[in-house]
Structure 1
Amino acid sequence: MFVNAPTTQEKILMWGNLRYMVDKLMDIRAESKKKLADNPSLTIGDVTTINLTMLSGGIQNNVVPEKLTASFDIRIALSVDQKEFENQIRRWCTEAGDGVTFEFEQKDPYVAPTQLNESNAFWVAFKAAAEKLKISMKTCTFPGGTDSRYIRELGIPAIGFSPMSNTVPGLHEHDEHLRADTFLRGIQIYESLIPAVANV
């Protein structure tokens, strides 16, 4: 999401408009961090995550820019109403001052999560195969964008799984990697799980 603030003759006022929006969104980030700290059973997929990823504007130090833009990566928790969240941002833009706007670079519709219970034959088969392999699993909502959202949008249940035991997640980090033995063990695990789910 991009937040745009127009300039005025006073740089402080211009930054104040944008800062109002930055502060509001960073307040949500702080609340989410507190929820995670206060409840160890929660995972990052249980809260709305907000990261300020880019600030841009201007061409040089002594020229007032036409506008300032702040870019945020926002992953909305399943418990948050997307329309209300967007309306709140719209209200904050109005409160921030004239000409403050926002736009989405990417906006996905809400899609209900896959049910992980006895009503889902794929989950039952997946879980049974994992238990047979003595794999200890923890289910959670994955906050990243995966192709499963498109499958779920068609009404087809989707389960994401990564056999990365004893591995600190480093998704999209500059040195993302797996140990060779973890990678090879993952292949063996998939050789059991995929046929179990495919034969439902």
Structure 2
Amino acid sequence: MLALTKEWTEHAGNGTELSFIRYFTESAATSIGDDNKYWLAMREAVNNLGIEITPVVCPATSDMLILRNKGIPAIGFAPKSHTISRIHAADEYLNVATFLRGIDVYVAILQKLGNLQ
């Protein structure tokens, strides 16, 4: 996409320049292995609720990218099972039951994280 955008800029001529408000060339990773006590606590909390987490790499960026690149581990999480992804769409929504269940999930996670040694 970057190459295509640069091509358009060159084709436009007239001194057209390309600048970025936000541009990152790398994104550090956060371990979700047994060496990350926060991940283990989060996974245990949701597993205790009968929920299995399937880790994925999010194709978009978030504010967590900045934290990770500063060496601060960060994990994104959204308890929205059985929900079609409509991220940032005009019709993005959550079912009320899913939203309310999410509160219970976050409470369980926060209790586990808050009691780590």
Q: Which band: TM-score by shorter chain?
A: 0.7 to 0.9
* Distance in 1, Cα, partners of 2:22 & 2:9: 22
Decide which of 159, 178, 182 is 2:98's aligned counterpart: 182
Report what 1:132 is aligned to. 48
Answer yes or no: is 1:143 the counterpart of 2:59.
yes
- Which residue matches 2:82? 166
Structure 2 counterpart of 1:132, one-letter code: N
**Which protein has the larger Cα radius of gyration, Structure 1 or Structure 2?**
1
The answer to whether structure 1 residue 155 and structure 2 residue 74 are counterparts is no
Hey, what's the Cα distance between the residues in 1 that align with 2:88 and 2:70?
A: 28
User: Equivalent of 1:108, from 24, 36, 43?
Assistant: 24
C-alpha RMSD over aligned residues: 2.6
Residue 183 of structure 1: how far off its partner (Å)? 0.3
1:199 is displaced (CA, Å) by: 2.5
Q: Please tell me the residue identity of whatever aligns with 2:49.
A: L
Identity across aligned pairs (percent)?
32
Contact kept, 8 Å, 1:151 with 1:157, in 2: the verdict is: yes
Give the superposition deviation at 1:101.
5.0
Q: If the length of structure 2 is used for normalisation, what is the TM-score?
A: 0.80
Deviations 1:62-111 (A, max 9, x none): xxxxxxxxxxxxxxxxxxxxxxxx6x569857986966753323213523
Q: CA deviation at 1:138?
A: 1.3
**Residue aligned with 2:56, SS:** coil
Q: Is the strand fraction higher in 1 or 2?
A: 1
Number of the residue aligned with 1:74: none
Structure 1 residue ranges without an equivalent (≥5): 1-24, 26-85
Instruction: Write the mapping of 1:35-54 to structure 2, written as runs, cut at 5 A.
Output: none
Instruction: Mark the runs of 5 or more structure 2 residues left unpaired by the alignment.
Output: none
Answer yes or no: is 1:123 the counterpart of 2:36. no
